[in-house]
Amino acid sequence: MNSIREETYSRLRSFKYAFEGLWYVIRTQHNAWIHAVFTVAVLVLGFWLRVTPFEWALLVLCMMAVWMGEFLNTAVEAVVDMVSPEFHPLAKTAKDVAAAAVLLGAIGSAIVGLIIFGPRLMTLFFG
């Protein structure tokens, strides 16, 4: 019985650490605010334009891909800064590649958003 309690406490502590990481990214990363604005905009547009459940699934996957990219980028930057406090070309490469991953996720997500929202908005505004 005691091991079940300890395991439950351990799992709950894992969630605590995850939420600490989430809060760190929201608090310290300027691009996270941009992602938050776009996330809210997508949610509002999705409800307003009544997207289908399948389209919601695509939109949520895209939003989560961008957020996950941002979180991983932040983790890479922190580790690189820790192990290489001085400038090093490979440290720069690691940071640049991690940032490029976020950029690719954002571009892909924007394309999906245009495919889903574009025709509806064109019909709405231009008949």
The DSSP string of 55-101 is HHHHHHHHHHHHHHHHHHHHHHHHHHHHH--S--HHHHHHHHHHHHH
Enumerate the domain spans of the chain.
Answer: 32-126
pLDDT at res. 1:
56
pLDDT at 44 (0 to 100): 98
**Which architecture does CATH list for 32-126?**
Orthogonal Bundle (1.10)
Low-confidence ranges of the chain (pLDDT < 50): none
Please tell me the predicted confidence (pLDDT) of residue 7: 84
d(CA 121, CA 64): 23
pTM: 0.89
Active site residues: 70
